[in-house]
Amino acid sequence: MSAPALTPADSAIFDEDVITEMEEHLDEPIACGIETCEKEAAWRVSLRCCGDSTFLCTPHYFVSRSRLGWSLIWAGAAQCAVCGTVFRHPMSYDAIVRVVPL
C-alpha cells in the first residue's frame, strides 16, 4: 500500500497564513546561541561529526575557535559534547567545524 501523493494545495507550506507569518519574520535578526549573550548572530557553526549546530555572534565565534584550538594544542585532543567523537591534534578547527557566515 502506498501513500497518496501530496499536491502543493495539500501542503501546509502553501497555506496563506503560514506564508504571511514567514514573510513577517524574514528580516528579524537571529540571536547568538549563547544564553547570556544579547548580540546578533553572524555565523552558523556546525560540527562535522554529528551535525549539531548553533548560531554565534562574532565574539563568541572567535572564543569557540580559540577554545578548540587550545584544547587540541595543550590537551592533544578535544571531544564533541554531543556525540562523543574525539578529535586529536593536529586537526584544525576548520576540519572539525563547518562555518557559514550569515
pLDDT digits (tens, 9 = 90+) for 8-23: 556 656 677 777 877 7
Whether 4 has a pLDDT exceeding 90, the answer reads no
Q: Give the burial string for 37-63 (b: 16+ CB within 10 Å, else e).
A: eeeebbbbbebebeeeeebbbeebbee
Spans of all domains in the chain: 29-101
Distance set, CA 23 to CA 6, 10, 30, 51 (Å) = 24, 20, 15, 27
Residue with the larger pLDDT of the pair 45 and 12: 45
Instruction: Decide: 78 and 87 in contact? Cβ < 8 Å.
Output: yes
Burial of 86 per CB tally in 10 Å (0-12, 13-18, 19+): exposed
Report the range of poorest mean pLDDT among 3-17, 34-48, 56-70: 3-17
The amino acid at residue 91 is: M
Q: What is the pLDDT of residue 51?
A: 96
Q: How confident is the model at residue 28 (pLDDT cuts 50, 70, 90)?
A: confident
Cis peptide before 90 (omega within 30 of 0): yes
- The string of pLDDT tens digits covering residues 66-81 is 999 999 999 999 999 9
Instruction: Decide: 82 and 96 in contact? Cβ < 8 Å.
Output: no
